[in-house]
Every structure is written in structure tokens, then in C-alpha cells.
Amino acid sequence: MTVETDFIVIGSGIAGLRAALELAAAGARVTVLTKERASESNTEYAQGGVAVALSEDDEVSLHEDDTLSAGAGLCDEEAVRVLVEDGRRYMQELIEWGAEFDREGGELLFTQEAAHSRRRILHAGGDATGHEIVRSLLARSGQQVRIQFVTHAATERLLVEDGHCRGVLYLDPLVRARRELRAWAVVLASGGTGQLYLHTTNPAVATGDGMAMAYGAGAELADMEFVQFHPTALNVADAPRFLLSEAMRGEGGVLRNEDGRRFMPRYHERAELAPRDIVSRSIVAEMERTATRTVYLDMTALAARYLRRRFPKIYDTCLRYGLDITREPVPVSPAAHYIMGGVRTDLDGRTTLPGLYAAGEVACTGVHGANRLASNSLLEGLVFGARAGRAIVADAARQPRATGGTTPAAVAAVASVTDDEETTASGEIVLAVRKRVRRLMWERVGILRSRQSLERALREFDQIAGAKLRAPSRNFLTVATLIARAALWREESRGAHHRVDFPKTDDTNWRVHSIQREGAEISGSETVDFESAESPALT
């Protein structure tokens, strides 16, 4: 039995929820597939906040300049303009919808983060910004009867017919069955790839499946070599690499080495507020210089009461590991945090595969270039999620539905999963593959890369790919390979991509985006944007 909904959204972070709301507002039935519970996504854990030019001393042009300069020559200028301009409108709308950002005397509070020329970061609950955004968007989605959530759904592959994406095949672990869900269009909003690395600030769901599925379905991916490493993740044995927000340095925190000495002023004139990639590489250099595996984030110059109020989640989490941020510097080191590359889209979320749209971290709109400006990602998810929703409605109105009539928005089981023994065995294989890939990615495709390290990683990925793998491992390995391949291809250093064998930026030869498509050689393109086959860009 084939069952349809109007539109499918994969992922329930800020981009997915915003796209779903846009589609439902146009009267469509939307099914949101999400891998865990609806509130679980990278968005939920975002601390620092949302960068938006809303304060009195700020201007969109300043936000635009800061974004372009962080992007190290590889931002799509039009996409950046859309981000900073539309961002104001969509953030005001989000506030009207009930998202409560921190205020003082009724006025919004803005914090400072690295590489921003103004205090422009809105935050909520001190350091629980993502949680508040998810809460408000889920509350609004809950009022929309046209939005149906299917939780704990592990998507495996996209359904493509006649060169058009028509739906998705996913595994529903609750009823242990594969299901096929069909629709006029699919929006990928499945987030990033942090879990590909041994050390990451990302939750378990960030495994890059959306990118692997898009690639497998024939869509193009861009700029996969650009992976951002957050400088300050908690570095305590047996603890997850919990994020210690950049806002902590924005509010006056400093980095110290093993000897208690501040070292960032030796590496960059903006010291702790240098661009993120520079701080991460400086930490690596300082750890090497002092032959240690950690540095320390020191907040003790700030008042204890202020720290507890401003960073309640961080304070509580560190305390759980026996560290009081008000009294002592805490051990930190870099961890994989965000991928700038992803599924290539135009300014309205269209991918190169008709019927497939993408928004948020899974997408590459070109707004981040080679290095994302801190706190621009929530804004990107909000703006481009909404724009993708709008574009789909417009595209659908122009084109007849090709998949026949509609049936109630429910899903059908198309195959049963195999017996317990096989599932257990394959579960073990998935874990073993992931463990090996994560170590290789960290050691060979990490903060510092070289031809030798990348070729070695790729050789090992090839060997692993020779084994019979099921969808989760295959997808994981596919994305790791795409990152390593692009990193090997780009023979220069730019933004977050650092090649020790090509340490300089080479604008003459490499001011281009890497484009990857299944069955084709990797190539360079001057733009991320492309001429959409489906319809012209909206105005």
C-alpha cells in the first residue's frame, strides 16, 4: 500500500519546524519525521544564541560584513544579504509567536561573541537559547492540526522517480518495520555531522544521514571540507564534550595554559575573541607546545552570582563533574561542532534534485563560506526553513501533482525488519564501524590535515566500505568519505579547513566551492547557487 501526505519534513530542529509551519499555514498536510523525540536536535542544545542586527547600535550591513569576513572569501554574498535582512523579520515573528529571549527592564539583551563587531547575540534562559526556540516552535506546531509528527523514525533513503524526489524510506524501530512515505516534496532539515568525529559537541542524532541520502539520490553537495571545531568543549575524562559557549569568552572569560598563563594574545590580536578556527588551532598549538591535552577556560574574574544567572546550564553541568566555574578554571579543548558544507541549495532551499529541498545545517546555502560566524546558524535555520516552505508552496502551485490522489496522512509498513539475532549483530557492526570512522576522522580529517593523513583515511574508508553494510553505517561512511575527499581536493588553507602541507590561502586557484555528485569527479564552482530546473527564485 502506498500512502501519501502533501509534504515531508525530515528533522525537527529550527529549520524543519519553521518549514513545517510555513507549509501548514498554506493549508498543506505536513508529516515531520524525526529520529528521536521531537525536541531532540542540535537546535535544542544551542547555548550562545541567535545573531541578529536588532540592537540600536547595530546595522544589517555590519552583520553582513562580519559574516563575510568570517567566511574567508567563500560566502555567497546574496545568501548573506538574505540572511541578515530576512533574519530581522523572522526573529521578530518568532518573538511574537512566544519565544522569550532574555531582557532587562523590558529591553532585549545582546551578548558579544567572537568576530562580531557589535553585541548582537540574543539569548534565552541565559545559556538555554535552543531549548526556548524548540519549545516555542513545538508549541506553535502543536496548534496546527495539519502537522503530524512521526518520532523515532530513522530515515534510510529518498525515493526518486523520473528524476523527482517523491518520498522517503525509513525504519520505525517502535514497530520494527520499514515504511515508505510519499509526498509531493521532501524537505531535508536533518542537521549536521558532528558524530562523525571522536570528539564533538553534537548530540547522538547528528550523524549526517540527510547528506548521505541526498547524495545517494543524485543531489549535489557543496563545501564538505569545511568543518568547524568549537574551541571550548569540556575536557574531562568520561564526560561528554559538553559545549562551553563562546559567549563565556564574549563576557570576559580567558584561556590559560597548563601553567596558568594566558596565551591567546600571543596568537592573535583579538585574543580569545579571534575567529573560531584561529582559537581552535591556537589551542592545539599551545597544547603541543606545553605537551598537554588540555587548556583551561577561566571565568573566575566575573562575579559568581552573575555567572550562575548568565550561564545556569553550564554552571550546573560543570558542577556535576566536580568543577565550579565561579571558583576555578575548567579544562577545555576543541571538538567538532558544525559543518559549513552540505546539500547544495539555491536561495529558496531548492536542491539540484527536483522535489528535494534542504534547510539548516544539512544544506549549503553559501551563507557561512569557509567558516561560520558564531550564532549565525540558528538564524540560518529560521530564515531558510521559512523560505524553503514558501518556495515549495509556490512550486507546488505551478506544477500538477504527479503522484496521483491523496490518502489520509498516515504511513504504511512496506517490509518487516529481520529477526532479533540479525538486528543485534548489525547493531554491533554499526557501532564498530562508527567507532573506527570517528577515530579516523578525528586523527586524519580533523583540525589539521595533510595529503598523507587524508589519503590514509580514504584508504581505510574504502576498506570498510568493502564490507556488507546496512544503511546507518553506509550513510555514516558516505559522509565521512565526502568530507575527506573534499579536504584532499582543496590544496590550500581557508577558514576552518587547514592543510599543513598547503598552509596559505590561494585566492588565485581556490576561491571556488567544491561540488560532489555521485558518479562524478569532484569539481569547483564559483557559486553555490545554481539555476534551478524546477522554477525561478522567488522575489
Hey, which residues are catalytic here?
Answer: 276
Contact between residue 134 and residue 43 where contact means Cβ atoms under 8 Å apart? yes
For residues 188 and 206, give the distance between their C-alpha atoms in angstroms, rounded to a whole number.
Answer: 13
CB < 8 Å & 24+ apart, contacts of 96-99: 97/136, 97/137, 97/140, 98/136, 98/139, 98/140, 99/124, 99/132, 99/133, 99/135, 99/136, 99/137
The nearer residue to ligand SIN, 209 or 361, going by C-beta atoms, is 361
Placement of cell 541549495 in the chain: 345
Q: How far is the CB of 191 from ligand SIN (least distance, A)?
A: 13
The nearer residue to ligand SIN, 166 or 368, going by C-beta atoms, is 368
Q: How far is the CB of 70 from ligand SIN (least distance, A)?
A: 11
Q: How far is the CB of 337 from ligand SIN (least distance, A)?
A: 6
Q: How far is the CB of 262 from ligand SIN (least distance, A)?
A: 20
The nearer residue to ligand SIN, 44 or 246, going by C-beta atoms, is 246
Nearest to 46 by CA among 361, 342, 284: 361
Q: In 94-111, which positions are buried (b, 16+ CB within 10 angstroms) versus exposed (e)?
A: beeeebebbeeeeeebbb
Contact between residue 213 and residue 368 where contact means Cβ atoms under 8 Å apart? no
Report residue 130 as a C-alpha cell.
535552543
Q: By three-state DSSP, how is residue 480 classified?
A: helix
The nearer residue to ligand SIN, 229 or 502, going by C-beta atoms, is 229
Report residue 471 as a C-alpha cell.
544503511
Which residue lies nearest ligand SIN, judged by its C-beta? 48
Q: How far is the CB of 201 from ligand SIN (least distance, A)?
A: 8
Nearest to 187 by CA among 82, 44, 30, 78: 30
CB atoms within 10 A of CB 507: 11
The nearer residue to ligand SIN, 133 or 214, going by C-beta atoms, is 133
Contact between residue 437 and residue 462 where contact means Cβ atoms under 8 Å apart? no
The nearer residue to ligand SIN, 88 or 178, going by C-beta atoms, is 88
The nearer residue to ligand SIN, 247 or 437, going by C-beta atoms, is 247
Q: How far is the CB of 259 from ligand SIN (least distance, A)?
A: 26
List of residues contacting ligand SIN (CB under 6 A): 47-48, 243, 245-247, 337, 374-375, 377
Query: Residue 474: left (phi > 0), alpha (psi -120 to 50), or beta?
Result: alpha
Helical segments of 355-419, H only: 377-398
The nearer residue to ligand SIN, 313 or 344, going by C-beta atoms, is 313
The nearer residue to ligand SIN, 297 or 358, going by C-beta atoms, is 297
Q: How far is the CB of 374 from ligand SIN (least distance, A)?
A: 4
Helical segments of 178-322, H only: 209-216, 246-250, 264-267, 276-289, 304-310, 312-320
Contact between residue 197 and residue 446 where contact means Cβ atoms under 8 Å apart? yes
Nearest to 13 by CA among 51, 32, 41, 49: 41
For residues 348 and 387, give the distance between their C-alpha atoms in angstroms, rounded to a whole number.
Answer: 5
CA 180 to each of CA 121, 157, 413, 426: distance values in angstroms, whole numbers, following the listed order: 41, 10, 7, 22
Q: How far is the CB of 247 from ligand SIN (least distance, A)?
A: 6
The nearer residue to ligand SIN, 160 or 271, going by C-beta atoms, is 271
CA 461 to each of CA 213, 239, 489, 499, 516: distance values in angstroms, whole numbers, following the listed order: 18, 28, 16, 20, 17
Contact between residue 143 and residue 127 where contact means Cβ atoms under 8 Å apart? no
Placement of cell 510519499 in the chain: 182
Report residue 231 as a C-alpha cell.
574551541
CB atoms within 10 A of CB 434: 18
Q: How far is the CB of 342 from ligand SIN (least distance, A)?
A: 16
Contact between residue 9 and residue 34 where contact means Cβ atoms under 8 Å apart? no
The helix-helix angle for 451-465 and 471-489 (nearest 10°) equals 160
Q: How far is the CB of 229 from ligand SIN (least distance, A)?
A: 11
